[in-house]
Amino acid sequence: MTYAIVDISGHQLLIKPGCYYDLNKIPLDIGEMVLFNKILLLNHKGLVKIGNPCLNNVRIKATIVRHLRAKKITVFKMKSKKRVRCKYGHRQELTRLVVNSIYINNTKI
């Protein structure tokens, strides 16, 4: 089983080739390739490589599938005894991408 732990926009994700992931919005068009190079850990056939802080020779290529919005969350703030109530919602902009492959020294694994 091959997987990598990647730092993407401040979040650490466990990524496997061929899987779909929803991330914070990436301002690129649908169908474009994205290259991630902040790889913190790589496990390939039982061999684990740990970066210090990142692995220099490992890259991950992914394709943007679509842009979407997350479920709406409701935020309610209240100050007791002051008659202050504020209710509003928020929907996060997301980008769905599929991981194509992982490369070590420009060689696909």
pTM for this prediction: 0.81
The domain limits of the chain are 3-66+96-108
pLDDT at 106: 86
Whole-number pLDDT of residue 13 = 94
Q: For residue 98, what pLDDT is reported?
A: 97
Q: What is the mean pLDDT of each run of 10 residues along the chain (109 residues)?
A: 91 94 94 94 92 92 96 97 96 96 89
Per-residue model confidence (pLDDT) at position 9:
85
Residue 37's region, left for phi above 0, alpha for psi from -120 to 50, else beta, is alpha
pLDDT at res. 1: 82
Instruction: Please give the pLDDT value at position 109.
Output: 84
